[in-house]
Structure 1
Amino acid sequence: MRAANLQGWPGMTAAVVAVVAIAVAAIAFAAFLLWRDPYALVRAEFARERLALGLARREVEVDGIRWVYAEGVAAAAAPVLVLLHGYTGSKENWYPVARRLRGRRRLLIPDLPGWGESQRSGVAGHGFAAQAARVAAFIRATCDGPVTVLGHSMGGGIAAVLAAREPALVERVGLFDAAGVRFADNQFGLDVLAGKNPFGVHDRASLAHYLGILFHDRRAVPAMPWPASAILVAHRRRDAAFEQSVLDEIGRGPEQFLPGESATRIRQPVLLAWGAHDQVIDPSAMDLYADKMPQARKVLLDGSGHMTVMEQPGEVADAIDGLLAMPVQQGAHA
């Protein structure tokens, strides 16, 4: 027995050395990748979340623009939902809601051009009208027949313009804390009108301020231990000029109220859902939209700030189910 043990040790030692060498090489390679592209760590976490939800990562080129989107499959007869994120956001903002809807609905969750993984270079204009036209082309390239479009914040403004301009393409529309109307003054709105970017992030303090504006329920704030927080700050600093240019278009340019103006032409079933503690798009905006769309169903979420889709995803999913149950009037999307 003793001799057998002694004979086994050299092989065991070689195996351990090999494992250690592989581990060291893997760590060195990962460190090299992070040095080259620190934001890869954030993307890896997003990929983990997507895989956990059973969503597939897709790419499609439409009119020369590369789109990256997450797709959740469902039965052939299931409604198709297109979910649009907001300013400084990405497709991942919708993942908590997707968890409640997966398998029952076909989900298409894109990064809008300029944001996330979708193409930014060579894409001119990121206002409501330009993005609505691009989303229409995206839907035609990925879907058959009319769809339900759900938009959060900036994405809500895009969804409103799209629903008004493409009634044959959009069967129902959901606006969540949507931009595009002149709501009651709050500090965020006043800062935007003054030429500032209240969402700007350039250090840890401004990151905390940004998250504080977005979320009422702090439990919904994504965990960002170091180095993820430092990586995100660096990423947002690099994006500062782009963010400012988009805010110039949607927050204080000629199109800033285009979604509200367009809403008067929306005849499809509409869901309006707002966080009662929204510090970005004041809840008064919900009634302003409702005045233009008397068919709209209103849902006020008492436990949410601006990020309703992350703070109360279960209630948001229930509200979406209610929207899908609303009958489509004859000719409403003709």
Structure 2
Amino acid sequence: MTVTRSRAFRAAAVVLVASLLVAAAFLWRNPYALIAGDFTRQRIAAGLSKASVQIGDDRWVYAYSDATPRDAPLIVMLHGFTGSKENWFPVARRLRDRYRVVVPDLPGWGESNRIDGADYGFLAQSARVARFVEAVSPNERVVLLGHSMGGGIAAITAARHPSRVSHVGLIDAAGVRFRDNRFGIDVLAGKNPFAVHDDASLERYLDTVFFDEAAKPTIPWPADRIYIARRRQDAAFEQRVLDRIGRGDERFLPGDEAADIRQPALLLWCRQDAVIDASAMALYAQRIAQARRVLLDGCGHMSILEKPDAVAQAVIELIERGK
């Protein structure tokens, strides 16, 4: 009996060591899999599934839930600059029992593909979003929400493609000339204030986008090393996009186009937003007279992570009041 147990123990140990070596080899070849695994955990916790769709040259990867009846409104959520679909998961979790939700990685970002030399500015992304909406909801208009850069994209999409968008929500949205702050001054000077290349710049990035310390994520070792390496790898791409949406000819295009938005609309900001100053909400409101305005306190640029309950409630009111 002792010999049998000893052999079983050694066999189990061999299997465990082999498994650890396989896992180590896999992470060595694909270190970002560690972060991707946590993103999968977040998606499952939010009650979302994952799918992809090819539209022209663009492969979109998106999270979704269609557990509600087919006649429930469909909400499409667009993330911001340097963001990904995961930023929206806390809000999506709060809405998925009431509405159908689709949360994509915009082309160029996250798990969606990136094409060398392609245009990922406001206007080009808006055209892609319109095609994506048609693909995932060919027979009905959608509620389109956009955060930060995604807000600028959503504004143009709602204005230019009203047959595809029934309601629009602009959350801490880029695309207007807001009151000067450190972030805006650095962008106009040609810098990328969101650039991450070491521990200090990662901490600065998180401190810039978050106001609520309790909501600010911690990135433990070795995930922090992996994340920093990915952001360094993406630095040139980030700079090209920011040059276009932050300093290029179309940097204020979302605000200009917003004057053509006729759908029920929501403007939501955080008072302590250090990226897109809250003065931007009034500038958008001048162009979208019918928009409901919500100004939250105690949060920064990442309202969708810092105040997901309040954001979800504002979206519900946008939909229910706009019927």
In which range does the TM-score fall when normalised by the shorter chain? over 0.9
Match of 2:250 in 1: 255
Counterpart check, 1:83 vs 2:77:
yes
Most deviating of 184-193 and 44-53 = 44-53
Task: Return 5+ residue gaps in structure 1 as ranges.
Answer: 1-7, 329-334
* Aligned counterparts of 1:122 and 1:196: Cα–Cα separation in 2: 22
Distance 1:127 1:239 in 2: 16
Match of 1:66 in 2: 59
| Contact persistence 2:167–2:322 (CA under 8 A) | no
Moved more, 172-181 or 99-108: 99-108
Aligned length: 321
Q: Is the 1:84–1:109 contact (alpha carbons within 8 Å) kept by the matching residues of 2?
A: yes
- What is the CA–CA distance in structure 2 between the aligned matches of 1:127 and 1:326, rounded to whole Å? 32
Query: Does the CA contact (< 8 Å) of 2:46 and 2:90 recur in 1?
Result: no
Residue aligning to 1:3: none
One-letter amino acid matched to 2:285:
A
Contact 1:216 1:277 in 2 (8 A): yes
- Which of 261, 285, 289 aligns to 1:290? It is 285
By how many angstroms is 1:15 displaced? 2.0
Q: In structure 2, which of residues 149, 153, 158 is the aligned counterpart of residue 154 of structure 1?
A: 149
1:27-60 deviation per Cα after TM superposition (whole angstroms, max 9, x unaligned): 1111111111111100000011111222111010
Q: Residues 157-202 of structure 1: CA distance to partner in whole angstroms, max 9, x if unpaired? A: 0000000000010000000000000000000000000000000001
With the length of structure 1 as denominator, give the TM-score of the two structures: 0.94
Instruction: Indicate whether 1:192 and 2:187 are aligned.
Output: yes
Q: Deviations over 1:224-275 (max 9, x none)?
A: 1111111111110000000000001100000000000000000000000001
Deviation at 1:149, TM superposition (A): 0.3
- The separation in 2 between residues aligned to 1:81 and 1:252, in whole angstroms, is 30
Give the secondary structure class of the aligned counterpart of 2:114.
coil
Correspondent of 2:240 among 245, 256, 279: 245
Structure 2 Cα separation of the partners of residues 51 and 215 of structure 1 = 24
- Cα 1:71/1:123, change in 2 over 3 Å: farther
Structure 1 stretches of 4+ moved >6 Å = none
The equivalent residue for 2:167 is 172
Q: Distance in 1 between matches of 2:150 and 2:275?
A: 14
Structure 2 residue identity aligned to 1:168: S
1:139 to 118, 126, 133: 133
Say which of 265, 269, 274 aligns to 2:269.
274
Q: CA RMSD in A?
A: 1.0
Q: What is the identity, as a one-letter code, of the residue corresponding to 2:98? A: R
Name the amino acid aligned to 1:260: G
Q: Is the 8 A contact 2:47 2:93 kept in 1?
A: no
> What amino acid does structure 2 have at the position aligned with 1:300?
L
Instruction: Name the aligned partner's letter for residue 57 of structure 1.
Output: K
1:309 maps to what in 2? 304
Give the whole-Å Cα distance in 1 for the aligned partners of 2:11 and 2:131: 52
On the 8 A contact 1:113/1:123 being kept in 2, the answer is no
Aligned twin of 1:25: 18
Deviation at residue 99 of structure 1 after TM alignment = 1.5
Partners of 2:255 and 2:11 lie apart in 1 by: 64
**2:316 aligned partner, one-letter code:** D
Counterpart of 1:9 in structure 2 is: 2
C-alpha distance in 2, partners of 1:182/1:161? 16
Residue identity in the other structure for 1:29: V
Q: Percent identity?
A: 56
**Larger Cα-atom Rg:** 1
Aligned position for 2:32: 39
Residue 260 of structure 2 aligns to a residue whose secondary structure is coil
The residue number in structure 2 matching 1:232 is: 227
CA drift of 1:64 comes to 2.3
98, 116, 120: which one aligns with 2:110: 116
